[in-house]
Structure 1
């Protein structure tokens, strides 16, 4: 059996070809031309939000026919003349009121408009501390998208709150000591290979993150031998693609990228085994989904979001980050990216939507910055090579923050 340092996975297809540039929505991918003898799947761009609905279009047409909303049937001519005479008699009997008195009466009877929260009330003393007043502390980032039914802005906050609740069900602990034939280095090599597979098939980033989660949760329960580790990784990508992709790759594609080391029956058997082991509950919250949400709340540009993605994707290969919750990891990656780009710190809006005060993120931010400082392993080049390309703004070439400078910035947020 090969030793840990000799563990390699075949890199067939066109993993080594020069990537071409393509950009869709806020997801950017490096295209690589697959060369499967079976023809390989068509190139697919990443899943993008359906935002091409015509805004302002009336969803319900107004009824032109039907009941008339006109005035009531007019009274007879004699009745009208009688009512006019009565009005004239009433007017002559009333005392004359000046125009100034009428204006004052209108002002007094006018209903009071609601006072904005930031305005100072008459009964509040000027010496009152501003912290004691009710001030708007965060922006409603979903309000501007309420008119677009495809964005589901009404349910966005509830969706991510539900995902945070599900995180507690998928807490991972160290499992490598239970694997007699595996080690941390083998896992890192597997994840590096899975990143290349995601690029080759142009899968969603969410598919990659979910596949890594499936591998970790399976290994936390079941003992796996090193000769079936690549089979586990490729099958996990297949399951994640079925869960998240509109058009997932076929089974033959995964057999091809494994260099036909496994039979079709083995891959299908592993698929059933993974699903049964995880009790078919594979809707595992991943950091990438939280990261996109939090970047929107911060109104970060695409380059800043890409830098945060790069930091977050580096953690996939690191075993010591598996027990971090997805939402906290995403928040910490975004905070570090904001610091590296000198775009400020943690705002009340971010604290509201993430649920994390900035002090809860300091420890993880320091670890992420040290991860950027660490010398890259020669065997693990996929993530750094991917984000060093110009379609990803070459964010992998951005130097990490100085440790002392980072500490000063974190103290300012406290």
Structure 2
């Protein structure tokens, strides 16, 4: 806790200052000046002389031996320069009166010349070439490329104008941002890679994802962190075959990288070693982190379905319980190997469509078609996969997501009955 310091008396301060000045003059006469390192107060950071030029160069004066003569010469030059300036100012004052008289006569001449020019312009005497020369000398305005023009959004599909005063929502660029993410998805399209992994199977991957959901809950991480960790795990496993004993190491390391990317205060390496029950060492986790980043070419900004889901739910002003139901479907899809190949925007659209039909809030509306770029017929294969996945009996080892969304915080959406497939088919068949 800092302590308040009282002011010292002026007498003692003055006497100490005089003693210090006397000691300083004695040191200057006896030996050349040497820069002394002032001891900082306890707890204060040390000064870094490398940043003098950036921070306080105008305040710091470093005295070096053998520079006294140069400083005296500079002082003489400054005094001579100031005296010359004073003389010039005096001369300017004397000539100002003369120049004022001359300026009045010049103004009268310019007025007469301007009147003559106006008459010539009215008569049209050779004025057009002069104007063309002036316009030719002025620089032409820059043309904005076509791909930089913002596409006009119809009023009935505009969902960002209401946040025009909120700079954090980026209303001017929201549509362009999600269009860019949708285009970027094509770079991260995956195939069913399990045939490359001789030591793994889809059930092991589902167990890993179920464990990552538990980690996300225990550490209270963002849902974006969970989705990104699963994406990075899939992309790494599609490129590098591993043994089943290293699968948990891959998942926990992917969660560590995603936490560094998404979280404000990510968990430490020791935290992830602890949740792995000390099955791995710190060097192994750091080495795996380097392997994952190199395999992904350090490009870990992968579009995830969770971001698209929140955007599309906002298009129809979906309530929080409807959005949570769609999030439950989307999170359950993380464990399904058959849905790894789906793009995030398409998977999010299918989950939202199922939630809207389950809540009897209509089907795929035109505003959703505009912002997502998908029609209801495009979502039919994904909706059928989701319905069959939710209809299948769940394994006792894979109940973390269902238990999570059975809580009152998540509106107990996991306990809602699954919508009939015939009702879904009608919604998919509607234009």
Per the TM superposition, whether the score is higher than 0.5 is yes
Distance in 2 (CA, whole Å) between partners of 1:367 and 1:273 is: 33
2:210–2:335 Cα contact (<8 Å) kept:
yes
1:144-197, Cα deviation, whole Å (9 max, x unpaired): 001111111111111101101110000000111111111111101000000000
| Equivalent in the alignment of 2:224 | 206
Say whether 1:364 aligns with 2:387. Answer: no
Say whether 1:327 aligns with 2:342. Answer: no
Structure 2 counterpart of 1:171, from 185, 189, 198: 189
Structure (1 or 2) with the larger CA radius of gyration: 2
Distance in 1 (CA, whole Å) between partners of 2:335 and 2:428 is: 26
Structure 1 counterpart of 2:167, from 145, 149, 168: 149
Structure 1 counterpart of 2:401, from 366, 383, 392: 383
| Equivalent in the alignment of 2:20 | none
User: What displacement does 1:136 show?
Assistant: 5.6
Distance in 2 (CA, whole Å) between partners of 1:202 and 1:385 is: 16
1:101-129, Cα deviation, whole Å (9 max, x unpaired): xxxxxxxxxxxxxxxxxxxxxxxxxxxxx
User: What displacement does 1:240 show?
Assistant: 0.3
Q: 3-state DSSP class of the match of 1:223?
A: coil
Structure 2 counterpart of 1:293, from 311, 314, 335: 311
Distance in 2 (CA, whole Å) between partners of 1:279 and 1:138 is: 41
1:258-284, Cα deviation, whole Å (9 max, x unpaired): 001111111000000100011000000
Q: 3-state DSSP class of the match of 2:157?
A: coil
Higher helix proportion, which one? 2
Q: 3-state DSSP class of the match of 1:233?
A: helix
Distance 1:153 1:137, change over 3 A: closer
1:48-71, Cα deviation, whole Å (9 max, x unpaired): xxxxxxxxxxxxxxxxxxxxxxxx
Q: Which runs of 4+ in 1 moved over 6 A?
A: none
User: What displacement does 1:366 show?
Assistant: 1.9
Unaligned runs of 5+ in 2: 1-152
Q: How many residues align?
A: 279
Distance in 1 (CA, whole Å) between partners of 2:193 and 2:427 is: 36
| Equivalent in the alignment of 1:52 | none
Structure 1 counterpart of 2:333, from 315, 318, 321: 315
RMSD of the TM alignment (CA)? 1.3
* Larger RCO (alpha carbons 8 Å, 6+ apart): 1
1:59-110, Cα deviation, whole Å (9 max, x unpaired): xxxxxxxxxxxxxxxxxxxxxxxxxxxxxxxxxxxxxxxxxxxxxxxxxxxx
| Equivalent in the alignment of 2:321 | 303
1:137–1:349 Cα contact (<8 Å) kept:
no
Distance in 2 (CA, whole Å) between partners of 1:407 and 1:170 is: 30
| Equivalent in the alignment of 1:222 | 240
Say whether 1:140 aligns with 2:140. Answer: no
2:364–2:427 Cα contact (<8 Å) kept:
no
| Equivalent in the alignment of 2:283 | 265
Q: 3-state DSSP class of the match of 1:154?
A: coil
User: What displacement does 1:137 show?
Assistant: 7.8
Distance in 2 (CA, whole Å) between partners of 1:247 and 1:305 is: 26
Distance in 1 (CA, whole Å) between partners of 2:182 and 2:176 is: 10
Distance in 2 (CA, whole Å) between partners of 1:370 and 1:179 is: 26
